[in-house]
Amino acid sequence: MPGEQRFLAPAAWINGGWRSNVLLVAGADGSWLRIVPDAPPDQQQGVTTLAGPVLPGLVNGHSHAFQRAIAGLTERSTSADDDFWSWRERMYGAALRVTPGQLESIAAFLYAELLRAGYTQVCEFHYLHNDVDGKAYADPVELSLGLVRAARRVGIGLTLLPTLYMRQGFAAAGLREDQRRFASTPDSILNIAGRIASQETHGARVNAGVAIHSLRAVGEGALRELAAGASPVMPIHIHIAEQRREVEDCIVEHGVRPVEWLLSQVNVDERWNLVHATQATSTELNAIRDRHASIVICPSTEGNLGDGVFDLPAWMGHSGNWSIGSDSHVTRSWQEELRLLEYSQRFHLRKRNVAASAALSESSAGALFQGALHGGSAACGLRVGGLAVGERADFMVVDGDAPSLAGIPQSHLLDAAVFSSPDAAMLETYVAGRRIELDMRALRADFVRAMTALWS
């Protein structure tokens, strides 16, 4: 049919397992029309034969694009008490300096890196709203539109999450001076989300949701106002229970822990994605699951910042929905995120194949990949859940000749792709049935210019 894209994969990951000689047919709208494992020879005529095994594209459920500019620049200790809060001070240095043009260049390079790794949609938790002096831009969506242009330039899907940030802490009346670029109100956030959503047509790669930075950054009235004002189709994200001090401060202010406070204040449902939750208890995770909300886990950033270890066995044992995010982008590899997620559990519990055991699965890599894949749709509010009819036709082609995959039987390809390093590279990435072509030299040059202006 006109507009169809037809592919033949030597192997493809479908419903949690590998199938051979898979015919993949994408429609003109960029979604899957047909998936045919063991396709007969007559259906293999005139197709594009893919050069390696095929995995579905993944959603990166949590990104702060501007923080790509500090990856590798916060790894020198300034005191014996270096922790999340001291890292935050250094992160603010970038937040206070980056210009709209620099942000666009940084985001474009980052998004290209994510695409090359096999991420096909990124959820941008965006709280830089104002100019460097803290004043509103003439157009309130100035920085947001820069992120949209960056995503369109490289071809990745983008879920923009303009983020509400109103105060420096639970008992504070407002923001610190070095948080001036974050200042926002429920109305301003809803207006940004509405502007972005109104620009897009059905089936486009860019959509919008809303985010609350954290309970410490937003009072209960504003929290309820934003949640009530968000469209029923918009995902809602929030940082929750990331640090022990955050939990302790919430108990001092409200008498209960953050998760319990959130659930008591708003109608948390399937639109909600709670980011990190590294300090959440098993009881709290069960309560989140009962509301059909999701968790976004960011293992590389949680490890880099000393956040703690998410209780993966409890969450997977509760059949909880979850996705992964690269957050501060100290890595842009989904393989490393999943590997760190499993290894953090092994360090903590002194056991092996923790994800497999929790998910009642044979393969830890399979359990982890399927979890991240399934939860990605909730994170972005789109149908991007794998190689299945009706889902967006996003996929990555794995380099089957990668050293880490040498001699590996097909049934163990994903196990090796996740747990044998160096990471197997992706030969190609497709979004909505279209192969992504990237000019990495030009993107890198723009990124280097932005970095030089920021840090010289």
Residues classed as catalytic: 276, 327
Compute the distance between CA of residue 199 and CA of residue 197 in angstroms, rounded to an integer.
Answer: 5
Output phi, psi for 180, to 5 deg.
-60, -25
**Alpha helices (runs of H) in 291-439, residue ranges in sequence order:** 299-304, 312-317, 334-349, 354-358, 364-380, 413-419
- Are 384 and 394 in contact by the 8 Å Cβ rule? The answer is yes
Distance CA(143)–CA(271), nearest Å, equals 25
CA atoms within 13 A on the CB side of 221: 4
Question: Using the 8-state DSSP alphabet, how is residue 31 labeled?
Answer: B
Type of residue at 43: Q
CB 25 within 8 A of CB 34: yes
Cα Rg, the chain, nearest whole Å: 21
Residue 51: closest CA among 96, 113, 7: 7
Give the span between the Cα atoms of 163 and 214, in whole angstroms: 10
Side-chain-side CA neighbours of 101 within 13 Å: the count stands at 6
Give me the torsion for CA of 108, 110, 112, 115, rounded to 10°. -140
Q: Which residues pair with 22 in a beta bridge?
A: 9
